[in-house]
Homo-oligomer: A and B are copies of this chain.
Amino acid sequence: MRPDVSKQLITIGQLAGYAGVTIKAVRHYHRVGLLDEPVRDTSGYRRYTAQHAIALVKIRTLADAGVPLARVKELLAADPQQFASAVADIDRSLRERAAAIRRARTRIAQLNAGDSLFVSADLAAYLGRLRKIGVKESWVATERDLWILMQAVSPEAAAGWVAEKFAALKDPEFRSLYLAYLDAHDWSPDDPRLERLADRTERWMLKRSRRGKRVAPATGVDPAINQLIAASTGSSPAWARLSEIGAERRTRSAG
């Protein structure tokens, strides 16, 4: 026979203090049926037993582990096997949360460090390469924006094209052509250099297609992508002219 210590009671404040929670939280647990309502004293005050303290610590332990209160309620009524398997699940989710925190830490550390946070690792490497070969920062930013939109529209395709263009940059003639195109952006559409640039481009494309490689993303893949490309082309009279010259030559060679 145990002496009836359980009839000796503590107040809601003492209970809350013991478990490290607020009084409001304790009352909330009563409302949702998580913690039994204790007896009341003559003033209407709740009076708790050690059993309540134990139950409350249990509730908080589960809640602190991220278990929703509705699930906590189920678990308090579960048999030992169910409970043990739930504990294993909870531990898994805690490990996952720890991993998410590690990821969050590396990401906030990148907030001050360029584009790497906003684009894929492959794209960041590609943009870095552009800077290295002397592309102006404003152009790099434009490429970044273009690729972000492509990635948003068609993630798999964009990833493939980044890889292709990254690889093409190893070819010195492609690098040279690429830089020349950027220069040409602000030329007049009558500039005679445009014809020579078109010639160089044609030669390079011929050589490349003989090696069985694609020159640019296949047209018709995604209308949104084509629009993006057209928008780039249309952003400069000189580029528009280059595009025309290219189309004319293709028509001639096909006809």
CB neighbours (8 Å) of A2 from chain B are 138-139, 141-142, 235
> Is A201 interfacial (CB 8 A cutoff)?
no
Q: Are A152 and B91 in contact (CB under 8 A)?
A: no
Query: When each residue 1-26 of chain A gets 1 if its CB lies under 8 Å from chain B and 0 otherwise, what string results?
Result: 11111111010001101100000000
Q: How far is the CA of A17 from the CA of B144 in the complex (A)?
A: 17
CB of A64 within 8 A of CB of B142, answer no
- A152:B18 contact, CB within 8 angstroms: yes
* Nearest CB in chain B to that of A17: its residue: B152
Stretch with Cβ within 8 A of B (4 or more), from A98-106, A124-132, A247-255: A98-106
CB of A53 within 8 Å of the partner chain: yes
Quick check: is A39 within 8 A (CB to CB) of the other chain?
no
- The reply to whether B112 and A87 form a contact with Cβ atoms under 8 Å apart is yes
Contact B118 A54 (CB under 8 A): yes
Q: Confirm or deny: A84 has a beta carbon within 8 angstroms of a beta carbon on chain B.
A: yes
Does A135 interact with chain B (Cβ within 8 Å)?
Answer: no
Assess whether A235 is in contact with B91, with CB atoms less than 8 Å apart.
no
A62 cross-chain contacts in B, Cβ below 8 A: 108, 111
How many copies of this protein are present in the complex?
2
A232/B3 in contact, CB under 8 A: yes
Residue from B5, B57, B232 within 8 A of A228 (CB atoms): B5
Write out, one digit per residue, whether chain A residues 146-168 have a CB within 8 A of any chain B CB (1) or not (0): 10110111010000000000000
Q: A145-B6, A235-B4 are in contact. Are A15 and B152 (CB under 8 A)?
A: yes
Give the interface centre of A1, A110, A155 by most chain B CB atoms within 10 Å.
A1
Residues of B within 8 A of A83 (CB): 111-112
Which of A8, A83, A141, A186 is packed against the most chain B CB atoms within 10 Å?
Answer: A8
Q: Is the CB of A61 within 8 A of B142?
A: no
Chain B residue at minimum C-beta to C-beta distance from A3: B235
State how many angstroms separate the Cβ of A14 from the closest Cβ of chain B: 4
Tell me whether A40 is interfacial, beta carbon within 8 Å.
no
Q: Is the CB of B90 within 8 A of A94?
A: no
Q: CB within 8 Å of B: which residues of A?
A: 1-8, 10, 14-15, 17-18, 49-51, 53-54, 57-58, 61-62, 64-66, 80, 83-84, 87, 90-91, 94-95, 97-98, 100-105, 107-112, 117-118, 138-139, 141-142, 144-146, 148-149, 151-153, 155, 185-186, 224, 227-228, 231-232, 234-236, 239
| Pairs of residues from A and B, 6 with the lowest C-beta to C-beta distance, nearest first | A3-B235, A50-B145, A18-B152, A50-B148, A14-B152, A65-B104
